[in-house]
Amino acid sequence: MQPLSDLFSHQGDITRQALAPLADRLRPRNLEEFVGQQEILGPGRLLRRAIQADRVGNLILHGPPGVGKTTLARIIASTTRAHFTSLNAVLAGVKDLRVEVEAARQRLERHGLRTLLFIDEVHRFNVAQQDALLPWVENGTVTLIGATTENPYFEVNKALVSRSRLFRLQPLEPRDLRVLLKRALADEERGYGGLAVELSSEAADHLLDVAGGDARSLLNALELAVESSPADDTGVIRIDLEIAEQSIQQRAVLYDKQGDAHFDTISAFIKSLRGSDPDAALFWLARMVEAGENPRFIFRRMLISAGEDIGLADPQAVVVVEACAAAFERVGLPEGLYPLAQAALYLAGAEKSNSVLGFFDALKSVRATNRQDVPSHLRDANRDGAAFGDGVGYRYPHAYAEHWVAQTYLPAALQGEVFWLPGRLGWEGTLQERLQRRRAAQLSAAAESSADSGLLLSSGPDDAGLERWLQRQAGAEGERLDQLRQRFWDGARWQRQDRTLIVAARSLLWALDPLEASPEGGVLIGVNAAADLERLQAQSQLLDSLRSPRLLLLEPTSPRKLAAAIEPGERFEWLVARSPFQGLAPALWLQWLQQLNQLCSPRAQWRLLLSEPLLGPAGALTELLEKPGDPSNVSKDPSLTNLLRRLTLQEEGWLAPHPGATELSAALEELGWAVELESWQEFLTLELSETALQRWFGPEAPYRRRLEAAMSAGEVNRLEAGFRDRIGARLPQRLRHNRLIARRPAQSPSPSPQAGEANRDQP
């Protein structure tokens, strides 16, 4: 005979089942009845295979309400051979947890039976409760199946998460909800199959739409509609659109201020502002307001967006948001929604730029660069500057035209780095051209300084790679080279369609003027080394507003390949170069001259700059030692004095350029050009450093090889010691610049644009 208590318990289960809500009665009992989540439960999917094989390990299911988390746990319970037990984290405490764990331990020890512990709303467990569960999950006493509407990475113990497989359940699709709706109307045992219920298509569509992927919400609405609607005279319960709207009048806004919906919605809002979509921005803003989000939080995020996504394209953006936030504080709700929406619409409509992110590039460089010494000319000269030269060489920008002067402000190891790239739009777009021109001038100055230092001590055809001996300080080169550029182009008359060919280039310095003056023409730059090509390609990216030049890698020993590399029939109005043929044999540089001559248009003009050092290292040290008032007593070391004087005479032959201005002028005249030659000298200084000594006296240094061919090893060592004794001294340097301008004989020295047109077809 069955105990009376069991009879009452069984009857209670029947009664509860009959009185249970429709959503609970219709829970799927197996995987075949489960609807939706095909991405994780479809045939062959991992979770489905694990359930069918009864190999479900620690599992955490997370997703919005009504998508099947608890249902899936019950299906696992019905298919597993392990003992299944469950707790609700809202109601259970540490005591309940310990009872379940102890029972699981005994089952495992006595019967070898595993225990699956299902904890619904697992995120509701506090830290102490989750910590209490961890050891038993870790040693396998229980296998955890957790369900949560929150992101487990934020709400669940990280140790539990790391030991569990996570599955994210998505809101149900309308087609899935329609299956559940039809099942509820057709199931005679658990649904309304025993009743005559007629659901109009409009009512069904409304229920599916407003349910928003929540099966529980859909079934609760259907239950309310059916239970509250009387049957008509024919015994049919008719559910039309009006009844459906009364049953589920408003879609529930899925929004938890501490959960995924909170972060996902504000993310969608900010991305809509960034994407300049005012409609989407207002939608996500309205969703947050409707869900009760704190407007102060929204304003904070809009202030961030004003700096990150709009920045200097519209500097007023942050001002507008700040003003709207202040207005909101003064007005309050509901009228404060006006300035809230106004700020959002302003940001959505503003021009966009993220150029301020350049700060983080600078931050990376700060963390990655070893040498961050402040350049000496930028240091504070008010403390010990007189003793260490701090501040010497600094040029006060307000003392120059436009309150700007080309000098470097970055550490030496970061010369040429670009952290801020202004956008083309808005306020910063007005700065782009001027900033790019100045940056290009500074970059070219840095590169050109190495070109200046690359003046050859000797340039015979058998020794074209001789070491270059002058190295400029980057901080002093910008203004000097800019003045040199202006003098080089002085008197040039441009036309917008002019084409310019620059050969043997090592920087963009000489391309700046034609790039700006001839926007409808073009600039082709030929370089002799792959390293120079790579550097100029990087630099030319900053010149997009000035029409980036074409870059071409040339072979110095194959002048005929130039014509094959350009477009057929292309001719140039300007042929430009600085010391283009250094180190080439006469026959080779004459071939280059003839090849370039064939690429000249009828009104072409040559502009060549030939710079040659007038002092080599020995000559520079001789002048320093013989300078009146110099503390060095030359008479104490007559052997060094005589050695330097003898070597100075030899250096004069080594320094002679090949070809020089005279040879090039004569060659151009033979080709029918009228040549003008202008010469001037420039006086500079070079600090004698260990780096300079290595360039001159290193084991493989060309200058040392030249010395060893001209004197004994003892004399070379004596000379090196003489230089080393004077490290830190500033050696004088003299340069001679020769500007060579060649025109067709029919052209006037300074032709006007009209005159150039008149001479276009003359031979």
User: pLDDT of 71-90, one tens digit each?
Assistant: 888 888 777 777 888 788 77
pLDDT at 450 over 90: no
- Looking at residues 386-402, what average pLDDT do you find? 61
Q: Read off the CATH number of the domain in which 232 is found.
A: 1.10.8.60
C-alpha dihedral (632, 637, 641, 644), degrees to nearest 10: -90
For residue 45, the model assigns a pLDDT of 67
Cis peptide before 699 (omega within 30 of 0): no
| pLDDT reported for residue 743 | 94
Which is it for strands 674-687 and 165-168: parallel, antiparallel or unpaired? unpaired
Q: Three-state SS for 548?
A: coil
Sign for the pseudo-dihedral over CA of 420, 426, 429, 431: negative
Q: What is the pLDDT of residues 1-19, one digit of tens each?
A: 545 445 445 455 555 555 6
Could you tell me if residue 358 is inside a domain?
no
The whole-number pLDDT of residue 422 equals 65
Q: Write down the pLDDT at residue 474.
A: 26
Q: Which has the closest alpha carbon to 178: 186, 190, 167?
A: 186
If asked whether residues 612 and 704 sit together in one domain, one would say yes
- Domain of residue 62 covers 37-168
CATH of the domain at 454: 3.40.50.150
Looking at the structure, do residues 295 and 433 belong to the same domain, yes or no?
A: no
Residues 559, 627 share a domain: yes
Residue 262 has pLDDT above 60, yes or no: yes
Provide long-range contacts, Cβ within 8 A and 24+ apart, for 164-167. Answer: 164/57, 164/58, 164/59, 164/60, 165/57, 165/58, 165/59, 165/60, 166/60, 166/62, 167/40, 167/47, 167/59, 167/60, 167/61, 167/62
Residue 445 lies in a domain: yes
Tell me how far apart the alpha carbons of residues 358 and 409 are, in angstroms, rounded to a whole number: 17
What pLDDT sits at residue 428?
63
Q: Which amino acid is present at 295?
A: P
Could you report the per-residue pLDDT of 219-242, keeping only the tens digit for each?
888 888 888 888 887 888 888 887
492 and 641 in a single domain? The answer is yes
Confidence of residue 253 (pLDDT cuts 50, 70, 90): very low
**Per-residue pLDDT tens over the stretch 123-182:** 777 777 777 778 888 777 888 888 887 777 777 777 777 778 888 888 888 888 888 888
Tell me the pLDDT tens digit for each residue of 270-286. Answer: 888 888 778 878 888 88
Other beta carbons within 10 angstroms of residue 178's beta carbon come to: 17
> Residue 326 is part of a domain; what is its CATH number?
1.20.272.10
Grouping H, G, I as helix, E, B as strand and the rest as coil, residue 41 is: helix
pLDDT category at 516 given cuts 50, 70, 90 is: confident
Cβ atoms 31, 75 nearer than 8 A: yes
Domain boundary among the residues 143, 168, 193 is at: 168
Q: What is the CATH number of the domain that holds 44?
A: 3.40.50.300
β-bridge partners, 492: none
In 242-371, where do the E strands start and end?
A: none
Residue of 97, 218, 119, 219 whose CA lies nearest to 164: 119
Partner residues linked to 239 by β-bridges: 199
Same domain, 511 and 608: yes
Helix 638-655 and helix 702-710, axial crossing angle in degrees, nearest 10: 110
| Four-CA torsion 524, 526, 531, 536, nearest 10 degrees | -20
Among 302, 337, 352, the domain-final residue is 352
Let me know the angle formed at the C-alpha of 529 by 588 and 579, rounded to the nearest 5 degrees: 50
Looking at the 3D structure of the chain, how many domains does it have?
4
Chain-centroid distance of CA 197 in Å reads 61
First to last CA, the chain: 127
pLDDT at 109: 83
| Pair (711, 613) in one structural domain | yes
Is the per-residue pLDDT at 442 higher than 60? Answer: no
Do residues 318 and 359 lie in contact, with contact meaning Cβ atoms separated by under 8 Å?
Answer: no
524 belongs to a structural domain: yes
Q: Residue 70 domain-assigned? A: yes
> What are the backbone angles phi and psi of residue 724, rounded to the nearest 5°?
-65, -30
Tokens standing for residue 145: 């199946």
- Give domain status of residue 389, yes or no: no
Give pLDDT tens digits for 543-569. Answer: 554 457 889 999 888 888 888 888 778
Inside any domain, residue 133: yes
What is the CB neighbour count within 10 angstroms for residue 667? 20
| CA distance linking residue 686 with residue 246, whole number of Å | 90
The tens digit of pLDDT for each residue in 656-714 reads 767 888 999 999 999 999 999 999 998 888 888 888 888 888 888 778 888 888 888 88
User: Can you tell me the distance from the alpha carbon of 488 to that of 610, in angstroms, rounded to the nearest whole number?
Assistant: 11
Cβ-in-10-Å burial (0-12, 13-18, 19+) of 74 comes to middle
- How many angstroms separate the CA atoms of 133 and 147, rounded? 15
What is the structure's pLDDT at 456?
Answer: 28
Paired tokens of 577: 């170069």
Q: Which of 336, 352, 368 is the endpoint of a domain?
A: 352
Q: Are residues 554 and 461 in the same domain?
A: yes
Question: Is the domain of 234 the same as that of 277?
Answer: no
User: pTM for the whole thing?
Assistant: 0.42
Do 53 and 85 share a domain, yes or no?
A: yes
Cα gap 436→459, rounded to integer Å: 36
What residues form DSSP beta bridges with 116? Answer: 84, 143
How far apart, in Å, are the Cα atoms of 357 and each of 298, 447, 572?
22, 27, 41
**Residue 377: inside a domain, yes or no?**
no
> Which residue type, as a one-letter code, is found at position 18?
A
Arithmetic mean of pLDDT, 410-420: 61
Residues 240 and 270 in one domain: no
* Consecutive H or E run containing 48: helix 46-52
Whether residue 325 lies inside any domain: the answer is: yes
Asked whether residue 164 falls in the same domain as residue 47, the answer is yes
Q: How confident is the model at residue 121 (pLDDT cuts 50, 70, 90)?
A: confident
Beta strands in 415-516 (DSSP E): 499-503
> Does residue 475 share a domain with residue 455?
yes
Is the pLDDT reported for residue 608 higher than 90?
A: yes
